[in-house]
Amino acid sequence: MAHLIGQLTFLVLLGTAGFFFARRIGQIRKNIQLGRDVDRSDRKSERWATMARVAMGQSKMVVRPVAGIMHLVIYAGFILINIEVLEILIDGIFGTHRVFAPYLGGFYDVLIGLFEWLALGVLVACVVFLVRRNVLPIARFRSPEMKGWPKNDANIILVVEVLLMFAFLSMNAADGIAQARGLDHYIAAGSFPVSQWLQPLYAGLSDAGVVAVERGAWWFHIVGILGFLVYVPYSKHFHIFLAFPNTWYSDLTPAGQLDNMAAVKKEVDLMMSGDPFAAPAEPASDVPAEPAPFGAKDVKDLTWKQLMEAYSCTECGRCTSVCPANATGKLLSPRKVMMDTRDRVEEVGRAINAAGGDWGQGDGKSLLGDYISEEELWACTSCQACVEACPINISPMGIILDMRRSLIMEDSKAPEPITAMFNNVENNGAPWAFPAADRGKWTDELANES
Amino acid sequence: MALTVPTLAEMNARGESPEVLFWVGCAGSFDDRAKRITKAIARILNAAEVPFAVLGAEESCTGDPAKRAGNEFLFQMQAAQNIAVLNGYGVKRIVTGCPHCFNTLKNEYPELGGDYEVMHHTQFIQQLIADGRLKVADGQPFKGKRITFHDPCYLGRGNGEYEAPRAALAALDADLVEMRRCKKNGLCCGAGGAQMFKDAEKGNREVNHERTDDVLATGAKVVATGCPFCNTMMTDGVKNAEREGDIEVKDIAELIAEAADLL
């Protein structure tokens, strides 16, 4: 009977967590689809290779070895301990105990031993990460955009992971004691190379006490994981899922290449055709409702990939730490650009839901202006250091340059010297006010050198 | 030594075609300091007996600074105009004196109808040395001298070229040292993305001063550059550190030309 109640409780919890997780994923998907279309379906084999190398292989994480290797431990722990979670799920649903053990025999002991070592590794890495974030003077964890929720979010995740790993090890420790005492239901299975050190903590307990610790830790662990599942898509930690599609859909062109805007190309082609009265091929029947704006003023003007990047960002701040503008005290922080984009698309998504799906004229706010200032945008040197540094191929620079396009082509807003540069290029074919005829002057000088 | 550089129009009129078109760029055409780099490149091409020409007055800004400042219209107008000229002459190979021109011509023009084989001058120079077309060993004015190379963003990160400029420098038999931040991790000089044409936003430091600290930490006596804008920024940075007396800022083309006794 007690077993049945346990199983039912477990199923209800599992279903509830699954429901909230799926609902949240659906919302994120909807929000990402607010973005413009961009085709990232080409060069498939290269995309699989990029995902394998960058997301699975963590090739860009280990560029910084200390954080990179510890992250690798947590990543490996997460993936492999999930095999154990699968067993826990089956045990929970069917009321079994260590259901895999009879099938795997000696290999089961090896696996459990490996999981224990990984759990210890994850635990240690998370503690070190907590110290790095909260004690050590590491600049990228202390930027203005990390105050408040982002800092708490990071700490919550690390603390929860520490607690989960401790619960996992406590469960095994108590299980080991129960097995040694030959308690009913506790088959002899698994090896406990790490949790044996925790056994003294629980060895003085009665049989009922040991079972209570084992069951308590089991429930804490699995409920914690289900809670985590619901929490993660609201958190920066969502990168554990999105890192994979985000790298698959990477921009595969050279980092220096900036896209040519197709809408502009159409107009330029028309102008260059030489016929001032030439009109584009008659669109009579399929007239677009309104022309798409140039550049990005709000999240809907960004591509769905850029919005996916905003949800994939885990706020590690490697971009900001290598940004020359940020390093010299300018307002620009590439990480903040990504965080602002996510905050804004969340806001827009909520507003659309509140308006019953039809948002009409919007809320009078926009990403450009209300979240990201012109001063931030004009500090970028387009050096691509942020793009290079991102462990999962996010491009904050792409968003920055798209917003400059909106500033210039929609609002005609530029710092005065930039306007002067435009005028020079337009009139003299050079960013400075030199006549084109003087372009060859250096050849004259060379011809006259002795 | 006097040297005549033909325009493509002149060469065409003689019924000849060049091995490469030398795309000089705006800085290389108008800025006095950058013109010295341009001349060094011309002298190298001449010494290696590479038949080359320039566009002269027919060359126009690639549109890079306009594009990166957000003016896609102006960029594409410039591109259309340049592509019309280049295609009109049937240009196949281009060597640029500037990594921004290099990146734009190589990556952004093809989709607009301008498909060329584009090389940065450091790549081409390295190739000339490797092929034995250019000899730099004589004299060796830089033998043992400590030199550090500042990666231009649009050659390095932008296009993944880190080795050619270093291989070219290796011909100098100098003491080549790397800065703390180099290659993929190289720090920008602060001029890209149209920053060259405006004041920096409010901050607590100039980017080129920050970069100069990296140079000073190496103890290098020469900062090798591959971009006219980096050259300006690093020259200013060295001046700001009051080290212009003992640290030179020179383009790789100038160093090679000097070593090859062409200046």
- Rounded to a whole number of angstroms, the distance from the CA of A302 to the nearest CA of chain B is 15
**Phi/psi of residue A163, nearest 5 degrees:** -65, -40
Strand partners for B247: none
Q: What residues have CB less than 8 Å from A442, skipping those under 6 apart?
A: B24, B28, B29, B35, B38, B39
- C-beta atoms of B4 and A378 within 8 A: no
Q: What CA–CA distance (Å, rounded) separates B37 from B43?
A: 10
Counting beta carbons within 10 angstroms of the beta carbon of residue A23, is it exposed (0 to 12), middle (13 to 18) or buried (19 or more)? exposed
Give the chain B residue whose CA is nearest to the CA of A434: B30
- C-beta atoms of B154 and A429 within 8 A: no
Counting beta carbons within 10 angstroms of the beta carbon of residue A132, is it exposed (0 to 12), middle (13 to 18) or buried (19 or more)? middle
- DSSP string covering A109-147, please? HHHHHHHHHHHHHHHHHHHHHHHHHHTS--GGGSSGGGT
Paired tokens of A15: 């279903």
Confidence of residue A287 (pLDDT cuts 50, 70, 90): low
- C-beta atoms of A447 and B111 within 8 A: no
- C-beta atoms of A437 and B71 within 8 A: no
- Rounded to a whole number of angstroms, the distance from the CA of A266 to the nearest CA of chain B is 10
Q: What CA–CA distance (Å, rounded) separates A257 from A268?
A: 20
Which alpha helices (DSSP H) does chain B contain, by range?
A: 8-13, 26-30, 32-47, 64-68, 72-88, 99-103, 121-130, 163-170, 207-218, 228-240, 252-259
Partners of B69 on chain A (C-beta within 8 Å) are: 404, 408, 414, 418, 421-422
Question: Taking residues A292-300, what's their average pLDDT?
Answer: 94
Q: Residue A1 has what pLDDT?
A: 57
A62-80 per-position pLDDT tens digit: 999 999 999 999 999 988 8
Q: Residue A278 has what pLDDT?
A: 58
Partners of A447 on chain B (C-beta within 8 Å) are: 2-5
Q: What CA–CA distance (Å, rounded) separates B153 from A169?
A: 49
Q: What residues have CB less than 8 Å from A164, skipping those under 6 apart?
A: A221, A224, A225, A228
B220 close to B148: Cβ distance less than 8 angstroms: yes
Partners of B38 on chain A (C-beta within 8 Å) are: 442
Q: Does B136-259 match B8-126 at the fold level?
A: yes
B230 close to B151: Cβ distance less than 8 angstroms: no
CA atoms within 13 A on the CB side of A266: 8
Q: CA triplet A430, B60, B100: central angle to 5 degrees?
A: 75
Q: Residue A273 has what pLDDT?
A: 78
- Rounded to a whole number of angstroms, the distance from the CA of A241 to the nearest CA of chain B is 27
B66 close to A425: Cβ distance less than 8 angstroms: yes
A28 pLDDT higher than 90: yes
Indicate if the alpha-carbon torsion angle A277, A279, A285, A291 is positive or negative: negative
Residue with tokens 């809408």: A263
Partners of B66 on chain A (C-beta within 8 Å) are: 421-422, 425
Q: Please tell me whether residue B246 adopts helix, strand or coil conformation.
A: coil
A280 pLDDT higher than 90: no
Q: List the end-to-end C-alpha distance of chain B, in Å, as a whole number.
A: 8
Q: Please tell me whether residue A291 adopts helix, strand or coil conformation.
A: coil
- C-beta atoms of A327 and B210 within 8 A: yes
A324-360 per-position pLDDT tens digit: 999 999 999 999 999 999 999 999 999 999 988 887 7
Q: What CA–CA distance (Å, rounded) separates B263 from B254?
A: 8
Q: What CA–CA distance (Å, rounded) separates B51 from B95?
A: 12
Of the candidates B57, B193, B202, the beta carbon closest to that of A380 is on: B193
- C-beta atoms of B30 and A432 within 8 A: yes
Confidence of residue B138 (pLDDT cuts 50, 70, 90): low
DSSP state letter for B105: I
A283 pLDDT higher than 60: no
Q: What CA–CA distance (Å, rounded) separates A83 from A80?
A: 6
A435 pLDDT higher than 60: yes
Q: What CA–CA distance (Å, rounded) separates B25 from B23?
A: 6
Domain-by-domain residue ranges, chain B? 8-126, 136-259
Q: Residue A350 has what pLDDT?
A: 95
- C-beta atoms of B67 and A422 within 8 A: no
Q: What residues have CB less than 8 Å from B70, skipping those under 6 apart?
A: A295, A401, A403, A404, A405, A406, A407, A408, A409, A414
- C-beta atoms of B193 and A446 within 8 A: no
Q: Residue B172 has what pLDDT?
A: 94
User: Which of A266, A425, A441 should one mutate to test binding to chain B, selecting the residue with the greatest count of B CBs within 10 A?
Assistant: A425
A276 pLDDT higher than 70: no
A421 pLDDT higher than 90: yes
Question: Taking residues A1-11, what's their average pLDDT?
Answer: 80
A151 close to A236: Cβ distance less than 8 angstroms: no
Confidence of residue A286 (pLDDT cuts 50, 70, 90): low
CA atoms within 13 A on the CB side of A29: 8
- C-beta atoms of B30 and A430 within 8 A: yes
CB atoms within 10 A of CB A151: 16
Q: What CA–CA distance (Å, rounded) separates A66 from B196?
A: 36
A289 pLDDT higher than 80: no
- Write the CATH number of the domain with boundaries B8-126: 3.40.50
Question: Taking residues A188-214, what's their average pLDDT?
Answer: 93
CA A100 to chain CA centroid, Å, is 34
- Rounded to a whole number of angstroms, the distance from the CA of B71 to the nearest CA of chain A is 6
Q: Residue A338 has what pLDDT?
A: 98
Higher pLDDT, A274 or A384: A384
Q: Residue B114 has what pLDDT?
A: 97
Of the candidates B4, B29, B71, the beta carbon closest to that of A409 is on: B71
Q: Residue B202 has what pLDDT?
A: 96
- Rounded to a whole number of angstroms, the distance from the CA of A351 to the nearest CA of chain B is 30
User: Which of B24, B201, B210 should one mutate to test binding to chain A, selecting the residue with the greatest count of A CBs within 10 A?
Assistant: B201
Give the chain A residue whose CA is nearest to the CA of B206: A328
DSSP state letter for A197: G
Q: Residue B149: which region, alpha, beta or left (left: phi > 0; alpha: psi -120 to 50)?
A: beta
**Phi/psi of residue A22, nearest 5 degrees:** -60, -40
B88-112 per-position pLDDT tens digit: 999 999 999 999 999 999 999 999 9
User: Which of B43, B162, B197, B262 should one mutate to test binding to chain A, selecting the residue with the greatest count of A CBs within 10 A?
Assistant: B197
- C-beta atoms of B190 and A324 within 8 A: yes
Q: What is chain A's mean pLDDT, rounded?
A: 92
ipTM of the complex: 0.96
Question: Percent of chain A having pLDDT more than 90?
Answer: 80
Of B105-109, B138-142, B250-254, which gets the smallest average pLDDT?
A: B138-142
Of the candidates A269, A384, A432, the beta carbon closest to that of B153 is on: A384
Partners of A256 on chain B (C-beta within 8 Å) are: 103, 107, 153-154, 157-159
A101-123 per-position pLDDT tens digit: 889 888 999 989 999 999 999 99
Counting beta carbons within 10 angstroms of the beta carbon of residue B92, is it exposed (0 to 12), middle (13 to 18) or buried (19 or more)? middle
Q: CA triplet A449, B5, B9: central angle to 5 degrees?
A: 145
- Rounded to a whole number of angstroms, the distance from the CA of A261 to the nearest CA of chain B is 7
- Write the CATH number of the domain with boundaries B136-259: 3.40.50
CA proximity to A186, closest of A206, A165, A207: A207
Class of domain A292-428: mainly alpha
Q: How far is CA B20 from CA B8, B53, B55, B92, B106, in A?
A: 10, 7, 11, 8, 14
- Rounded to a whole number of angstroms, the distance from the CA of B259 to the nearest CA of chain A is 19
Partners of A318 on chain B (C-beta within 8 Å) are: none
Q: CA triplet B33, B36, B38: central angle to 5 degrees?
A: 115
- C-beta atoms of A381 and B192 within 8 A: yes
Confidence of residue A97 (pLDDT cuts 50, 70, 90): confident
Residues in chain A: 450
Rounded (to 5) percent helix, strand, coil in chain A: 70, 0, 30
Q: Residue A190 has what pLDDT?
A: 82
B177 close to B52: Cβ distance less than 8 angstroms: no
User: Which of B58, B153, B210 should one mutate to test binding to chain A, selecting the residue with the greatest count of A CBs within 10 A?
Assistant: B153
- Rounded to a whole number of angstroms, the distance from the CA of B94 to the nearest CA of chain A is 17
